Amino acid sequence: MERYVTRKCFIMMCTALLILCAAAITSAEEKLPDAIESDPGKLGWMIGSPPPDNRIIRFDDGSYFKFPQLRWSVSNFRQLMPTVNVSRGVGAPSELKQKIDGNINQLTFLPINSKQPMTWDASLLANYTDGIIVLHKGTIVYERYFGVLGPEGQHGAMSVTKTFVGTLAAMMVAEGLLDANKKIAEYIPELAKSAFGTATLRQVMDMTTGIRFREDYADPAAEVWAHAAAGNPLPKPKDYTGPRSYYEFLQTVQAEGSHGDAFHYRTANTDVLGWVLARVSGRSVAQLLSERIWRKLGAEQDAYMSVDSTGTPFAGGGLNTGLRDLVRFGEMIRNNGIYNGQQIVPSTVIDDIRRGASKEDFTKAGYTQLTGWSYRNMWWVTHNKHGAFMARGVHGQAVYIDPTAEMVIARFASHLIASNSANDPTSLPAYDAVGKYLLKRDKAKK
Amino acid sequence: MERYVTRKCFIMMCTALLILCAAAITSAEEKLPDAIESDPGKLGWMIGSPPPDNRIIRFDDGSYFKFPQLRWSVSNFRQLMPTVNVSRGVGAPSELKQKIDGNINQLTFLPINSKQPMTWDASLLANYTDGIIVLHKGTIVYERYFGVLGPEGQHGAMSVTKTFVGTLAAMMVAEGLLDANKKIAEYIPELAKSAFGTATLRQVMDMTTGIRFREDYADPAAEVWAHAAAGNPLPKPKDYTGPRSYYEFLQTVQAEGSHGDAFHYRTANTDVLGWVLARVSGRSVAQLLSERIWRKLGAEQDAYMSVDSTGTPFAGGGLNTGLRDLVRFGEMIRNNGIYNGQQIVPSTVIDDIRRGASKEDFTKAGYTQLTGWSYRNMWWVTHNKHGAFMARGVHGQAVYIDPTAEMVIARFASHLIASNSANDPTSLPAYDAVGKYLLKRDKAKK
């Protein structure tokens, strides 16, 4: 499953919205532009009045998700498509202290499957980083931005969206508003005839459903295309007869294998989960995020979500946030759900995430770089010595929580390869190295 | 020119984006839904997961600008089309004190051309008000919301957008960055062959250009349709050969009459002005609004603007704001450009607006309800005894500044008739009545 996408595949992904491909097709033949060559500020996308013809990025011609245009688009999705606000409220933001540690840049680590050490500083370019913050005990010790992203501005969180939705679901389970053992059809009768109908809410939350949802972008018959076409907010072609919204699409999903047998990373699960949350609460996922998380965090910027043509937010990958707000969320989770003076997420939910799920189920998904991991409440749990767990989004989006080092890393990126398998080798050991460094620094101070 | 639009005309307006029609076609035969019958919350637009089929509002089928759907759309434009953020920054908002005066509801006034007194309270429904704030000496004395708008949430400002753009231009003239006497072609060579090329910046700022721009929505050949089609961010039809952006459209505008002869309210002037601001500053209108106004006001919410397919914000009508931020802007202007502890707009600009322009030029436009007014820097100047001046947007958007009464009113509305001539009779005398009441109240206190 650890495969790469070709440039051609990228072009084909254009209409796929923010759909995540953990699996794709390998190619390493072409010399592709590096982070400096593809810097969206230097390339001048959408600058000028008007921008030059060859520097305009439009939604409808599909160029927005091509590389290197993607590097501009990820910080400007709202200029390309309809979106819904995730309000922070109107109060003052919570404080984020900053005490930069200049040593971090020169920390070195061994990338996975490499004997060539790399510095933290070099890893940022290797990963096509757009912004990164390292928080230690709640204080920013490292913060840096590249290209067209800055501390103000929102970036696509891609599948990190799923982690927010999974956390909201776990909160509602903890509060007794949802029953994890109930079948999906009990919550959403419209899904009774789809493969989801007989799955339990827990199986959806942990992505162990047995559904046919191929994310092979090279295959025009793959379900991922039908999903993207259904969710695309642009007018449908006249001869289009498929589903016209995420909800309509979900009703067409067929069974493949059995529920509960194995972890299969499939975006459609999160869309189902978002539907359950909306149906039970009477609030959209965007409203829930605002009321239950964004306002309580004391976020400094509103977030937003892309929507389909019926106004349904894309629960599987449509969230866009400021980097500092993303790291606030991570810090709240690290701090057992407490942030900004209040218990935002029940601590039992955090305990449940940290315990993780079945490693055996996870192994079946074949992530060769993530051995020993599991997936719980839409969080990726490393089960490493520091007990780290993370949220992951295609092209390198990440929230990495290292409870032992009391560290949270939030990163936005626009890696030329969609699959995180491409950036994990120069990301995961880097995160681990900073965690160990901070732990050592703490001990030295004592 | 004081004519009304039929329902059929409204349907035709669907694709016209937020274009303003001060002129339209009269009809008063049909019984149309009142404010209570058309309340978007009660009608349940876009509520549910999914909303019922007959309660879904989509951009592409044109229903979003139909009445009563419009009443939902005006508070949710970003869910229907691409937009660009107007950032407030990340600090705490400026304080807006509130001391509600319960007497205002029962104030009475005589609507224009009527002998039947009306209460302030009744005028709110008559005008299909979505939100209204009365500020007296900087303190909120009246604040009320209807339908789906609340203190949090952004509403289309329609042509009030023009006033922001005109104010930005006047600021840059005052700072010497722009020369009001220069010809447009000197700033935008691409417009040399259009009618705008020979107009001065001042003529554009005061809308005294002689251009052919018919806003007759019943005439498919009217330029307003070409303008809307050019600015529509949706993909163009395959056989479409017209201009593909606001800037491309502006280059096609032909002459009609002479520049400087008369006031003609034509949206295209503001789009030209926006282009000049962008070209000279190297910043988009949205960026200028953020840097020069929104951040400095201590706005409590970000604003946003709709964009065409090249990312150009719609300077003629694309701004959406929170109501409290709109009233903050008005208060800053009333206070000679000072707000939140700083001089945001030079006081000479406010002086210039208050002096107004030629009443004779204005009279030629034929606004029978606005006799004795003038139009300066895209502000409407009443020249009444209180020296009031205002920003106006189709369907009832307004910022009304009464310097004598030290009062600012900000109003969002979704009147079933686009032209403000429909709501002026129950708005202008109401504003005047509150101003006089507050003045009397002040004197009684002394």
pLDDT in tens, A307-316: 999 999 999 9
Interchain contact, B312 vs A87, CB within 8 Å: no
Rounded Cα distance, B324 and B429, in Å: 23
Task: Indicate the DSSP class of residue A290.
Answer: I
Contacts of B61 in chain A (CB under 8 A): 235
Rounded Cα distance, A416 and B119, in Å: 63
Strands B139-145 and B338-339: unpaired
Residue A48 Cα, gap to closest chain B Cα (Å): 7
Q: Which residue of chain B comes nearest to A56, CA vs CA?
A: B310
Q: In which element (H, E) is residue A169 found?
A: helix A160-174
* B319 three-state secondary structure: strand
For A235, the closest of B60, B85, B311 (CB atoms) is B60
Residues comprising chain B, all counted: 446
**Contacts (Cβ under 8 Å, ≥6 apart) of A46:** A55, A56, A57, A72, A76, A79, B310, B311
Residues forming beta bridges with residue B401, ordered by sequence position: B389, B408
Chain A interface, mutation test: which of B14, B84, B87, B90, most A Cβ atoms within 10 Å? B90
CB atoms within 10 A of CB B185: 16
Task: Indicate the DSSP class of residue B200.
Answer: B
**H runs (alpha helix) in A311-380:** 323-334, 347-355, 359-363
Residue with tokens 């807006």: B96
Taking all residues of chain B, what is their mean pLDDT, rounded to a whole number?
92
Q: With an 8 Å Cβ cutoff, is B310 touching chain A?
A: yes
Work out the average pLDDT over A341-367: 98
**Per-residue confidence (pLDDT) for residue B143, from 0 to 100:** 98
Interchain contact, B79 vs A301, CB within 8 Å: no
Residue A306 Cα, gap to closest chain B Cα (Å): 8
Q: What angle do CA B208, B209, B215 make, to 5 degrees?
A: 95
pLDDT (tens digit per residue) in B258-308: 999 999 999 999 999 999 999 999 999 999 999 999 999 999 999 999 999
pLDDT (tens digit per residue) in B319-356: 999 999 999 999 999 999 999 999 999 999 999 999 99
Residue B85 φ/ψ, nearest 5 degrees = -75, 145
Which DSSP string corresponds to B371-426?
Answer: TT-EEETTEEE---TT--EEEEEGGGEEEEEETTTTEEEEEEE--SSSSGGGTGGG
**Per-residue confidence (pLDDT) for residue A7, from 0 to 100:** 34
The interface predicted TM-score (ipTM) is 0.92
Residue A109 φ/ψ, nearest 5 degrees = -150, 160
pLDDT at A350 over 50: yes
**Per-residue confidence (pLDDT) for residue A30, from 0 to 100:** 63
Chain B interface, mutation test: which of A56, A90, A325, most B Cβ atoms within 10 Å? A90
Work out the average pLDDT over B359-373: 97
* A287 three-state secondary structure: helix
Interchain contact, A49 vs B278, CB within 8 Å: yes
**H runs (alpha helix) in B244-402:** 246-250, 268-281, 285-289, 295-297, 323-334, 347-355, 359-363
**H runs (alpha helix) in A1-47:** 7-12, 40-43
**Per-residue confidence (pLDDT) for residue B5, from 0 to 100:** 30
**Per-residue confidence (pLDDT) for residue A18, from 0 to 100:** 33
Burial class (CB in 10 A: 0-12, 13-18, 19+), A440: exposed
Work out the average pLDDT over A38-59: 95
**Per-residue confidence (pLDDT) for residue A63, from 0 to 100:** 86
Burial class (CB in 10 A: 0-12, 13-18, 19+), A283: middle
**What is the Cβ-side half-sphere exposure of residue A271, based on CA atoms within 13 angstroms?**
33
Which DSSP string corresponds to B82-132?
Answer: -EEEE---SSPPPP--B---TTGGG-EE--TT--S-EEHHHHHHHTTEEEE
Contacts of B235 in chain A (CB under 8 A): 60-61, 234-235
Interchain contact, B60 vs A312, CB within 8 Å: no
Rounded Cα distance, A65 and B351, in Å: 49
Which of the two residues, A119 and B19, has the higher pLDDT score? A119
Contact status, residue A303 vs residue A325, Cβ threshold 8 Å:
yes
Cis (ω within 30 of 0) for the bond into B189?
no
**Per-residue confidence (pLDDT) for residue B30, from 0 to 100:** 63
Contact status, residue A133 vs residue A168, Cβ threshold 8 Å:
no
Rounded Cα distance, B320 and A73, in Å: 22
**Per-residue confidence (pLDDT) for residue B60, from 0 to 100:** 80
Contact status, residue B328 vs residue B94, Cβ threshold 8 Å:
yes
**Per-residue confidence (pLDDT) for residue A12, from 0 to 100:** 34
Residue B302 φ/ψ, nearest 5 degrees = -60, 150
pLDDT at A15 over 70: no
Backbone torsion region of residue A176, taken as left when φ is above 0, otherwise alpha when ψ lies between -120 and 50, otherwise beta: left
pLDDT (tens digit per residue) in B399-422: 999 999 999 999 999 999 999 999
Single pTM value for the model: 0.93
Residue B251 φ/ψ, nearest 5 degrees = -70, -15
User: What strand order describes the sheet that includes B319-321?
Assistant: B83-86, B303-306, B319-321, B155-156
Task: Indicate the DSSP class of residue A253.
Answer: P
pLDDT at A229 over 80: yes
Residues comprising chain A, all counted: 446
Alpha-carbon distances, residue B70 vs B22, B58, B133, B155, B224 (angstroms): 18, 11, 21, 11, 19
pLDDT (tens digit per residue) in A189-216: 999 999 999 999 999 999 999 999 998 7
pLDDT (tens digit per residue) in B111-170: 999 999 999 999 999 999 999 999 999 999 999 999 999 999 999 999 999 999 999 999
CA nearest to B393, candidates B74, B137, B176: B74
Rounded Cα distance, A109 and A107, in Å: 7
Interchain contact, B85 vs A78, CB within 8 Å: yes
Contacts of A87 in chain B (CB under 8 A): 152-153, 301
Q: What percent of chain B has pLDDT over 70?
A: 93
Q: Own/partner pairs for B352-360, CB < 8 Å, 24+ apart? A: B352/B170, B352/B376, B352/B377, B353/B167, B353/B170, B353/B377, B353/B379, B353/B381, B353/B389, B354/B381, B354/B387, B354/B389, B354/B403, B355/B381, B356/B381, B356/B383, B356/B389, B357/B206, B357/B208, B357/B263, B357/B381, B358/B263, B359/B383
pLDDT at A16 over 50: no
Single out the catalytic residue among B94, B123, B159, B374: B159
Contacts of A301 in chain B (CB under 8 A): 87, 90, 302
Cβ-based contacts under 8 A for chains A and B: 115
A442, two tokens:
């703490």
Interchain contact, A93 vs B92, CB within 8 Å: yes
pLDDT (tens digit per residue) in A120-130: 999 999 999 99
Q: With an 8 Å Cβ cutoff, is B284 touching chain A?
A: yes
Residue B320 Cα, gap to closest chain A Cα (Å): 13
| Residues 93-152 in A contacting B (C-alpha not used; CB under 8 Å) | 93, 151-152
Cis (ω within 30 of 0) for the bond into A50?
yes
A10 falls in which pLDDT band (50, 70, 90)? very low
**Contacts (Cβ under 8 Å, ≥6 apart) of B238:** none
Rounded Cα distance, B261 and B389, in Å: 22
pLDDT at A5 over 90: no
Residue A194 known to be catalytic? no
Contact status, residue A399 vs residue A297, Cβ threshold 8 Å:
no
Work out the average pLDDT over A418-444: 97
Q: Which of A68-77, A338-347, B61-70 has the lowest mean pLDDT?
A: B61-70
Q: With an 8 Å Cβ cutoff, is A311 touching chain B?
A: yes
* B21 three-state secondary structure: coil
Q: What angle do CA A97, A99, A104 make, to 5 degrees?
A: 130
Q: With an 8 Å Cβ cutoff, is B79 touching chain A?
A: yes
Task: Indicate the DSSP class of residue B362.
Answer: H
Residue with tokens 């972890």: A263
Q: Which of A30-34, A292-296, B20-24 has the lowest mean pLDDT?
A: B20-24
CA nearest to B53, candidates B65, B45, B61, B64: B45
Q: Which residue of chain A comes nearest to B60, CA vs CA?
A: A235
**Per-residue confidence (pLDDT) for residue A190, from 0 to 100:** 98
**Per-residue confidence (pLDDT) for residue A236, from 0 to 100:** 87
Q: Which residue of chain B comes nearest to A235, CA vs CA?
A: B60
Domains, chain B, ranges and CATH? 1-160+282-446 (3.40.710.10), 171-271 (1.20.58.710)
* B255 three-state secondary structure: strand
